[in-house]
Structure 1
């Protein structure tokens, strides 16, 4: 990998990354976890996708909201596409959802303005999906067109006194928030995607374009950046030069007046963001910027290394604040219900309670 005075090769980088990701810290320190498992059955993990807009009732795209279990998003979309005699490019979705879960999701199909909605529903009637709504819209659903996801998850076979332990952890997380780590599913079984992704990055201009593998590198570096910030004791405070995001409008700016912006941070008006490295990413400055640069240096990287892979980069909110978290007793364990913004992982929330590393 490239331009550092002490470069490391992709194999070394991948090894360091995997070792680091295996020991990410917890926000709710000092409290016992509840143990247990998730996804013992698909019914134990329910997720409902929330789009940022409703179908308007006209247009060539048909929005189909359906409930499924035992199917991933791509396979379900493919079956529906074949039933409707459409091309793959005619199908759109906002994000991929788990196979081992009960999922409510909306997909778009370019059926044309003359297609009857009743005929569309009839064409899908033999599939093992429950059609919940069909409507028209002018635009295709594209990746990222998701506002939030609502989860209801049962942790099965937890430790004794799990409910009271979970409530104590939740109370602490109200004060600290939850680190917005990428979940382990991003990195593959036994983190098998990590070596592949860093090998791809090392090839530079000779690399085959693979957006997902590039995102694996970006996600891993974000997790390490956040882990280092937590280890330094700076998880619940701003740093000079942080890039922060307004929680009401989504506007972003750099922290120059640390004292004033720290008050807004404490009030929940802003949240700091972390680096999704790329050649066009807006970098932090001052103290926060020095840490981002140091992380790239550690792996012998620069922002320009992402240019051949066409990865512009972005910023990601570093802290999740669950405003609607409810925890109740279930016959087989403990039930958690909460809503997450698009791109956040339910497994990241639940690890704070289950403590799998323990």
Structure 2
């Protein structure tokens, strides 16, 4: 039985159905990241296209080929395994001239990864450095009301709930189950797994808060004690919930924010928002206590995300293609679940 809750949607449960990721090419993701190489330094940056491999696996193979430890290889974001993706990797090679990465390709069955271009740089690639991801998504075997899909997509151009996608939580929410077992002393995960579990726990708590506000009709309503997130920047600020704030929310300039749980930060929610979030934390005490023990610090994430340049076209009677960009860390699957059961 799936462990994850069926978190509510903004537009109500869609009645149409379709297939997502029939093949990896149905889900294309490309990092939006402008790089100007210094042509010297200690770092090789590699632009990699991959299919059927996760980011961690490719990082390990790059480390092997470069003759360095996995710690010497970095990337900005994790990309889906069941997709066709393009992203940057970085290899630290101090005191070396780098290696020739031209033509590096590895194929295993239907999976592959290859270096499409590369360059030398003085700067290290750090997590979360890319500004956005560009998506091309194809849905097959679509059955239902095409007019309803078009209506929903037009509404989603103005934004949708910024849920973490189900892939963050593992198959049927297994990451959350394993995280609880770890926090309760029933297991001892490896280092890489620990970071995944910590991230999954914070994402789960955020989704719970967002779901509660969505059900209450306050996810886009300014409440007392709110911290607001600036569109695209992630910076937060406090302000009284007046007409000016409501207008900026309506225009998409700012969004109410939700918690990425951890130790209380310098800027904190108060009053009505604090009471609401504390009710969620109290219901998931095991996760919260574990996150505090492992040194997590409270951060904020916008409750809404607005896709850029969202457009769509019907390739045939039962195939729909979408194109859009999202800020890094936001999930395309959270958009898809608003207009179709896939």
Task: Give TM-score scaled by structure 1 length.
Answer: 0.84
**For residue 168 of structure 2, what is the aligned residue in structure 1?**
186
> Are the aligned partners of 2:62 and 2:73 in contact in 1 as well (CA < 8 Å)?
no
Is residue 242 of structure 2 the alignment partner of residue 258 of structure 1?
yes
CA distance in 1, matches of 2:29, 2:89: 15
- Go from structure 1 to structure 2 and tell me whether the alpha carbon gap of 1:208 and 1:102 turns closer, same or farther (over 3 Å shift): closer
Aligned-residue RMSD, C-alpha: 2.7
Q: Which moved more, 1:303-312 or 1:256-265?
A: 303-312
Structure 1 position 212, deviation (Å): 2.1
> Are the aligned partners of 2:53 and 2:113 in contact in 1 as well (CA < 8 Å)?
no
- Go from structure 1 to structure 2 and tell me whether the alpha carbon gap of 1:103 and 1:249 turns closer, same or farther (over 3 Å shift): closer
- Go from structure 1 to structure 2 and tell me whether the alpha carbon gap of 1:40 and 1:257 turns closer, same or farther (over 3 Å shift): closer
Is residue 332 of structure 2 the alignment partner of residue 346 of structure 1?
yes
CA distance in 2, matches of 1:144, 1:234: 29
**For residue 195 of structure 2, what is the aligned residue in structure 1?**
211
- Go from structure 1 to structure 2 and tell me whether the alpha carbon gap of 1:269 and 1:307 turns closer, same or farther (over 3 Å shift): same
CA distance in 1, matches of 2:20, 2:77: 21
Select which of 182, 197, 201 maps to 2:179: 197
More helix by share: 1
**For residue 154 of structure 2, what is the aligned residue in structure 1?**
171
Structure 1 position 235, deviation (Å): 2.1
Select which of 292, 301, 311 maps to 2:277: 292
Deviations 1:20-63 (A, max 9, x none): x4321111237x44310111011111110123654333311011
Is residue 42 of structure 2 the alignment partner of residue 60 of structure 1?
yes
More strand by share: 2
> Are the aligned partners of 2:176 and 2:201 in contact in 1 as well (CA < 8 Å)?
yes
CA distance in 2, matches of 1:340, 1:73: 19
Structure 1 position 231, deviation (Å): 0.6
Is residue 20 of structure 2 the alignment partner of residue 38 of structure 1?
yes
**For residue 292 of structure 2, what is the aligned residue in structure 1?**
307
CA distance in 1, matches of 2:32, 2:148: 30
> Are the aligned partners of 1:92 and 1:108 in contact in 2 as well (CA < 8 Å)?
yes
1:1-358 to 2 correspondence within 5 Å?
18=3, 21-29=4-12, 32-51=14-33, 53-112=35-94, 114-115=96-97, 119-121=100-102, 124=104, 128-162=112-146, 164-175=147-158, 177-202=159-184, 210-247=194-231, 249-281=233-265, 282-300=267-285, 306-331=291-316, 333-355=319-341
Structure 1 position 330, deviation (Å): 1.9
Structure 2: gaps (5+ residues): none
Structure 1: gaps (5+ residues): 1-14
Number of matched pairs: 333
CA distance in 2, matches of 1:201, 1:240: 33
Q: Which moved more, 1:214-223 or 1:150-159?
A: 214-223
SS at match of 1:352: coil
Structure 1 position 350, deviation (Å): 0.7
Task: Give TM-score scaled by structure 2 length.
Answer: 0.88
Deviations 1:2-31 (A, max 9, x none): xxxxxxxxxxxxx9x94xx4321111237x
